[in-house]
Chains A and B, each alone.
Chain A
Amino acid sequence: KAGVTQTPRYLIKTRGQQVTLSCSPISGHRSVSWYQQTPGQGLQFLFEYFSETQRNKGNFPGRFSGRQFSNSRSEMNVSTLELGDSALYLCASSLPSGASGNTIYFGEGSWLTVV
């Protein structure tokens, strides 16, 4: 069973540009979440999508956006890049949520460097 796949793995962008990251969840998983990991802030939740709808959103500016397609694949976009956006962006997939909790599976991440 294939895991969570993220592309691209590494990219370098210039301040002011925009970037799109892609995530393919585990087959059968319809919930996809995105996280940002930086040395200073650790792992922070960006947003979660389920059945093409954003269900939950973290405390990030509107420059960060995402979407989910009918096949559960998801993309996130960051516009007007800033140096502070340099981070590892992690995608996670799981079964639909429930109060009991689901195991959440992460991809290898996309390393974004903004210069």
Chain B
Amino acid sequence: KQEVTQIPAALSVPEGENLVLNCSFTDSAIYNLQWFRQDPGKGLTSLLLIQSSQREQTSGRLNASLDKSSGRSTLYIAASQPGDSATYLCAGGGATNKLIFGTGTLLAVQP
């Protein structure tokens, strides 16, 4: 069974702190990894896509890495802000557009 696990399930940090969200997957058929953000009651916003030929991607204060050999990805958020509060989801993709989602990390950044 394809599984994607995210740790921690919830995280509360003070504003300004750097933080790391973890994602692990067991399926060797996962070639690429996407990170999404979901605000309460909303759809998903794509943050970063790490394609199969890449090891990491950066966008602003976000940096995501992918290690397919160990089945792990991390999302690093620098200098967190209250506006970063949301649920963060990682999703593994293979040769099709089907995504296998993790269970998510609920992040709260305290002002």
How far is A43 from B90 in the complex, measured between Cα atoms in Å? 11
- A33 lies within 8 A of B44 (CB): no
Report if B78 contacts A (CB, 8 A): no
Q: Which residue of A lies closest to B93 (CB)?
A: A101
Contacts of A56 in B (CB 8 A): 96-98
Q: Is B63 an interface residue (CB 8 A)?
A: no
Given A100-B32, A101-B52, A104-B34, do A90 and B43 touch, yes or no (CB 8 Å)? Answer: yes
The size class of the interface chain A forms with chain B is: 20 to 34
A94-105 CB mask vs B (1 if < 8 Å, else 0) is 100111111111
Q: Can you report 17 residue pairs joining A to B where beta carbons are below 8 Å apart?
A: A42-B102, A48-B97, A56-B97, A90-B44, A92-B44, A97-B97, A99-B52, A100-B53, A101-B31, A101-B32, A101-B93, A103-B46, A104-B34, A106-B44, A106-B45, A107-B43, A109-B42
Interface residues in chain B, defined as those with a beta carbon under 8 Å from any beta carbon in chain A: 31-32, 34, 36, 42-46, 49-53, 89, 91, 93-104
Residues of chain A touching chain B, judged by Cβ–Cβ distance below 8 Å, are 4, 6, 31, 33, 35, 42-45, 48, 55-56, 58, 90, 92, 94, 97-109
